[in-house]
C-alpha cells in the first residue's frame, strides 16, 4: 500500500438503514476519512442528508468527516455543518456569491477548506484562491448520483492542477471523486491525486469486503 494515498469512502453508497455501523466498519477497515455528500435537489438533482445526520454519526468514529456541500446558496449553511461535526468543508465556487468570504468563514470556524471543480469548471476559476485552501476536489462525474462512469478527460485536469501546485509550492490536497475503481485509480494517483473518494467500488466489489477494497485502491 502507498501510505501517501488516502481513501475517503462515500457513504452515499452505504446502507442508510445502518449508517452508524457502516461508519464504524469503515474506520476498522482503514478508511482515512468519511466522505459525506450533501445534496439539496437544487444545485444538484438529488437529495441526501443534512447536519442532524452528520451530528448523529459523529459519535461513531473519530476519523475526519470530509463533507462535500452540493447546495446553493451554500454560505448560510456552512456554520450548521461545522457545528454538526464536519472536519473538512468543501464548497463549489458556483454556489456562493463570494468565494473569498465563504473560505474565510470556514477557516474562522477552525475547519479545513475544500473547493470543488465540476467537470465543466476550469481551474482558473479558483486559481487565485489555491494558496488559501486545504483541498481541491476534482469531480470526475457530474455530481448528483453515485455509480457513474469516470470521465477520462479528468486525468489531464488533475495533471494541470498538480503542475500549478508544484510550481507554487502549494500544500493543498488533490482529491478526486466520481467513478473511481480498481482500473482507473492508478492513473488518477499517477496524475497527481492523493485522496480518492469511492463509494460503489468500496461497498460492492469483492462481495463487499471493504477492507480489501480500501487496501486495493491504495496499492499502486
Active-site residues, by number, are: 37, 177
Q: If we measure between CA atoms, which residue out of 38, 104, 28, 114 comes closest to residue 72?
A: 38
| Residues shown for the chain | 220
Cell matching residue 146: 453515485
Q: Please, are residues 33 and 66 in contact by the beta-carbon 8 Å criterion?
A: yes
DSSP sequence for 148-168: PPP-TTHHHHHHHHHHHHHHH
Q: Which helix (H) or strand (E) holds 41?
A: none
- Measured at the alpha carbon of residue 161, what is the angle toward residues 198 and 73, in degrees to the nearest 5? 65
Q: d(Cα 62, Cα 12) in Å, to the nearest integer?
A: 19
Q: In what order do the strands lie in the sheet with 34-39?
A: 6-9, 195-198, 173-177, 135-139, 112-117, 88-91, 65-70, 34-39
Amino acid at each position: 500500500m502507498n501510505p501517501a494515498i488516502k481513501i475517503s469512502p462515500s457513504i452515499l453508497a452505504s446502507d442508510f438503514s445502518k449508517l452508524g455501523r457502516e461508519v464504524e466498519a469503515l474506520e476498522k477497515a482503514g478508511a482515512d476519512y468519511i466522505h459525506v455528500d450533501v445534496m439539496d435537489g437544487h444545485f444538484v438533482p438529488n437529495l441526501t442528508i443534512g447536519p442532524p445526520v452528520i451530528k448523529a454519526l459523529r459519535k461513531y468514529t473519530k476519523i475526519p468527516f470530509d463533507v462535500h456541500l452540493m447546495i446553493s446558496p451554500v454560505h448560510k449553511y456552512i456554520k450548521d455543518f461545522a457545528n454538526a461535526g464536519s472536519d473538512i468543508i468543501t464548497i463549489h465556487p458556483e454556489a456562493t456569491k463570494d468565494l473569498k468570504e465563504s473560505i474565510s468563514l470556514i477557516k474562522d470556524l477552525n475547519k479545513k477548506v475544500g473547493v470543488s471543480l465540476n467537470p465543466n469548471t476550469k481551474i482558473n476559476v479558483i486559481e487565485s484562491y489555491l494558496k488559501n485552501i486545504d483541498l481541491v476536489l476534482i469531480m470526475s462525474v457530474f455530481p448528483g448520483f453515485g455509480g457513474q462512469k469516470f470521465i477520462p478527460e479528468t486525468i489531464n485536469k488533475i495533471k494541470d492542477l498538480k503542475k500549478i501546485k508544484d510550481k507554487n509550492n502549494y500544500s493543498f490536497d488533490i482529491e478526486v471523486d466520481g467513478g473511481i475503481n480498481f482500473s482507473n485509480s492508478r492513473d488518477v494517483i499517477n496524475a497527481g491525486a492523493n485522496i480518492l473518494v469511492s463509494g460503489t467500488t468500496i461497498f460492492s466489489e469483492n462481495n463487499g469486503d471493504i477492507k480489501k477494497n480500501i487496501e486495493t485502491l491504495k496499492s499502486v
